Amino acid sequence: MKTHHYIFLTTALFVLLFYNQSPGLNLGILAIVYTVLTFFRTPLRNRSMTFILLTFTSVLSGAAFAWYGDFPSFLAVVSSLLLLGFRSRNRRMKILLLIPVVIVNFFTSFCRVFSFDEWLPKRNMSGLWQKILAFIFIPVVLVAFFFGIYAAGSDRFASLFTDWELDVDLWQLFIITMLGFFIAFNYWNYAVERLIYKNNRILENNFRENEVMPEPTYSFLDLDSERMSGVISLLALNILLVFFIIAYNYEQFYEQVKTPVQLSEETHEQVNAVIISIVMSILVLMFYFKSWFNFDPKARFMKVLAKIWIVLNTVLITSAMLKNSEYIIHHGFTYKRLGVYAFLMLSLIGLVMTFIKIHFRKKNAFLFNTITWYVYGTILICSYINWGGIITAENSKRRDFALNYHLTQINFSENQLLEYAAEKQDSKLRKEVIRKIQSRPEENFFSWILYYENIR
């Protein structure tokens, strides 16, 4: 099939799945269909291990959205399909360039769609397709478009058609068709500008020979002064960090016990400070080891200080993780406390990647290229796992189990609450959970959220 076949096919599928429907099973089906079509459309030379992995995660993301239908699974579907489509056509381009490609295509698609020679076949189409396109498709699109405009501008004009028995919402059908076409067109026929292609080399992980010349960063600082500045700064920062770690751990583990509210506020403030500190630490090291100092034989002491600083920051992250664990032991699991683990783990990965960057003389782009994939992996983990069920299952073992909180604030916890009600022989709770499940509106098939359909 040609590009236009994919565009029209997936547009028709989008209309079929989403007309008079809300997002649910339909988006999962659409994502899986897009994934399968992308796999078979991709040339063998581009089916790398990364592409195969993205195909697998895209199918899982589609299934996850069909099951949960929440924002994390939606984010996983969108990011998986964008990465898959980008990798299917650009095997060597760095994944960070996906962001400018998406932005540029979003705005240019309104013009590119009228460049018919670029996405419709240049040779003459068969007589049947010509007639369908010329006599049916184009007139229907134009009539539907102007009908929506005129109906919105004149109640009397719209009333002329209110007595019709045709049960079709033309305005919704038009919007759904345009949205489906917009998505399909940008997915199957996106363009990568030359400027973006040229910048691909900037995001390479390793330095080239012509990029390791001894050049100072600023005209007012020679290399010796800049090197000494790095040594003094990192030495001072190491000393400062040692004192901060001591004060932080004393404050966390040895000060008098506070109320749960005070403990919660202080823990989040301190963890936020740790995360910001780690991010700034990585940026400082990226500044000093962005080019020549990676290869400077006189910068060995600066490298040692940088690695010590990374180790000390790792100790700081470990302390924050221990405090978060202690907080969970005393007060139970919540989404925020699990989110703290996620941010701290990403910070730890960033430090490890920074250590690798300095030790193996990588470019700063290596950090962004690598951490992007870890962020994507975090999105997948958040979308595939029923965290609400885990939180409820673990907290239900506690004596201070906050039943109402888990019933109203925790998502996808109904199964665990029913098990808890059966264990405690709490018929009132069981009725409340069943009432909560049954209070969800009955949806059409394509709008189903499979999790709730499975427990009705």
Q: Are 205 and 362 in contact (CB under 8 A)?
A: yes
The arithmetic mean of pLDDT across residues 228-237, rounded, is: 88
The arithmetic mean of pLDDT across residues 278-286, rounded, is: 86
Angle at the Cα of 117 from the Cα atoms of 113 and 120, rounded to 5 degrees: 75
pLDDT digits (tens, 9 = 90+) for 14-54: 999 998 899 999 999 999 999 999 999 999 999 999 999 99
Q: What are phi and psi of 165, to 5 degrees?
A: -85, -10
Least confident window among 78-82, 393-397, 437-441? 437-441
Encode the chain in three state secondary structure.
Answer: CCHHHHHHHHHHHHHHHHCCCCCCHHHHHHHHHHHHHHHHHCCHHHCCHHHHHHHHHHHHHHHHHHHHCCHHHHHHHHHHHHHHHHHHHCCCCCHHHHHHHHHHHHHHHHHHCCCHHHHCCCCCCCHHHHHHHHHHHHHHHHHHHHHHHHHHHCHHHHHCCCCCCCCCCHHHHHHHHHHHHHHHHHHHCCCCCHHHHHHHHHHCCECCHHHCCCCCCCCCCCHHHHHHHHHHHHHHHHHHHHHHHHHHHHHHHCCCCCCHHHHHHHHHHHHHHHHHHHHHHHHHHHHHCCCHHHCCHHHHHHHHHHHHHHHHHHHHHHHHHHHHHHHHHHHCCCHHHHHHHHHHHHHHHHHHHHHHHHHCCECHHHHHHHHHHHHHHHHHHHHHCCHHHHHHHHHCCCCCCCHHHHHHCCCCCHHHHHHHHHHHCCHHHHHHHHHHHHCCCCCCHHHCCHHHHHHC
Q: Select the more confidently predicted residue: 327 or 242.
A: 242
Residue 394 has pLDDT above 80, yes or no: yes
Q: What is the pLDDT of residue 292?
A: 63
Nearest residue to 358 via CA among 309, 299, 284, 289: 289
Nearest residue to 76 via CA among 450, 386, 381, 451: 381
pLDDT digits (tens, 9 = 90+) for 147-199: 767 766 676 666 666 555 455 677 788 889 899 999 999 999 888 877 787 77
Q: Are 387 and 335 in contact (CB under 8 A)?
A: yes
The arithmetic mean of pLDDT across residues 113-142, rounded, is: 68
- Mean predicted lDDT score pLDDT of the chain: 85
Q: Are 446 and 15 in contact (CB under 8 A)?
A: no
Quote the pTM value: 0.85
